[in-house]
């Protein structure tokens, strides 16, 4: 792992990466790769050499695990629903569902059978991924190193691949829902006839390229800002936990204080991601 603070930080911020090393590459142990091989990267240079198609195994594992926990928990509670006094888990799930449902009804202008389930899925999945940031930073990487695994980051939302993947999915839904609600011509007109309009046809024709540039930038900025907001907040929180851990035995008061504050960040970022998704889809539903 290394002895210096820099080595410690780099280790804790490195992903367990699997990909293809090109022929002729010199590995961390000094060996030369004779033929291209698929393997796990042993350092940042190997991960970089693997290129775009490399897989970050830890991100995939923990994001799938949190998704399975979310689905399994809600499925088990749904199977054991009772009309009497709700049990502890049933009561907690009902509070979450009612909270999400209320925000969807207050924000989404229209009727749709998939907006509320989508919002609930986003809120719970992002919340559970963010919640992993409260696990002490040395526990999982330490266990992984003891097992011979070089790296292990457990917070998927600190990986821009996850946040961008989720936001791009929302972006595709946004375009699809716009076309579904307004039609293809309506989608094109939303990009070319707004925000500047004029009754004179010649002037309007001149304004169309300007509108297209402005609306395209606005449209593309939505998923990028959605992804970077979540990534930036959780990455900063993880980095602060790592810096606090460098203090040593005197870290506990600071660690506890930051953890308490970070709980608000965890919930708030899940809520913001959900609400912006609802708002964007509601804007796609509106005719103006």
If you count DSSP H runs as helices and E runs as strands, how many of each does the chain have, helices first? 9, 3
Statement: residue 3 has pLDDT above 80: no
pLDDT of residue 252: 82
CA distance 12 to 153: 7
**248: which 2 tokens?**
């040593």
pLDDT of residue 167: 96
CA distance 235 to 191: 34
- Among all chains, which residue has been given the structure tokens 């919002």? 119
pLDDT of residue 186: 87
pLDDT of residue 110: 75
Give the chain's mean pLDDT. Answer: 91
Query: Cβ(235)–Cβ(195) under 8 Å?
Result: no
Find, among 133, 175, 169, the residue nearest to 153 by Cα. 133
pLDDT band at residue 102, thresholds of 50, 70 and 90? very high
pLDDT of residue 287: 55
pLDDT band at residue 210, thresholds of 50, 70 and 90? very high
pLDDT of residue 90: 86
Element (H, E) at 156: none
Helix (H/G/I), strand (E/B), else coil: 219:
helix
Mean of pLDDT values over 190-204: 85
Statement: residue 288 has pLDDT above 70: no
Per-residue pLDDT of 217-252, as tens digits, reads 999 999 999 999 999 999 999 999 999 998 877 788
Per-residue pLDDT of 30-82, as tens digits, reads 889 989 999 999 998 999 999 999 999 999 999 999 999 999 999 998 888 77
| Active site annotation includes 153 | no
| Active site annotation includes 229 | yes
pLDDT of residue 201: 85
pTM confidence score: 0.91
| Active site annotation includes 190 | no
Find, among 106, 227, 100, the residue nearest to 160 by Cα. 227
Catalytic residue among 103, 182, 229, 282: 229
pLDDT band at residue 196, thresholds of 50, 70 and 90? confident
Mean of pLDDT values over 166-191: 91
């Amino acid at each position: 792992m290394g002895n210096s603070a820099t080595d410690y930080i780099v280790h804790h911020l490195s992903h367990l990466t699997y990909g293809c090393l090109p022929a002729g590459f010199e590995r961390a142990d000094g060996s030369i790769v004779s033929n291209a091989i698929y393997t796990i990267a042993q350092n940042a240079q190997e991960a970089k050499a693997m290129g775009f198609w490399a897989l970050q195994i830890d991100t995939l594992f923990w994001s799938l695990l949190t998704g399975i926990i979310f689905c399994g928990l809600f499925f088990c509670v749904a199977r054991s629903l009772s009309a009497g006094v709700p049990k502890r888990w049933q009561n907690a799930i009902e509070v979450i569902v009612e909270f999400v449902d209320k925000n969807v009804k207050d924000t989404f202008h229209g009727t749709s059978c998939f907006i509320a389930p989508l919002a609930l899925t986003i809120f719970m999945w992002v919340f559970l991924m963010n919640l992993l940031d409260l696990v002490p930073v040395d526990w999982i990487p330490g266990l992984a190193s003891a097992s011979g695994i070089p790296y292990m980051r457990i917070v998927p939302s600190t990986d821009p691949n996850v946040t961008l993947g989720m936001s791009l999915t929302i972006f595709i839904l946004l375009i699809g829902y716009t076309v579904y609600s307004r039609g293809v011509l309506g989608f094109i007109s939303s990009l070319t006839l707004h925000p500047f309009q004029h009754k004179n046809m010649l002037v309007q024709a001149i304004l169309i390229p300007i509108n297209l540039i402005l609306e395209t930038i606005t449209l593309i900025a939505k998923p990028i800002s959605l992804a970077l907001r979540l990534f930036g907040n959780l990455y900063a929180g993880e980095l602060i936990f790592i810096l606090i851990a460098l203090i040593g035995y005197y870290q506990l008061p600071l660690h506890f204080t930051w953890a308490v504050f970070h709980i608000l960040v965890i919930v708030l970022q899940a809520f913001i991601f959900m609400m912006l998704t609802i708002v964007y889809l509601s804007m796609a539903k509106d005719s103006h």
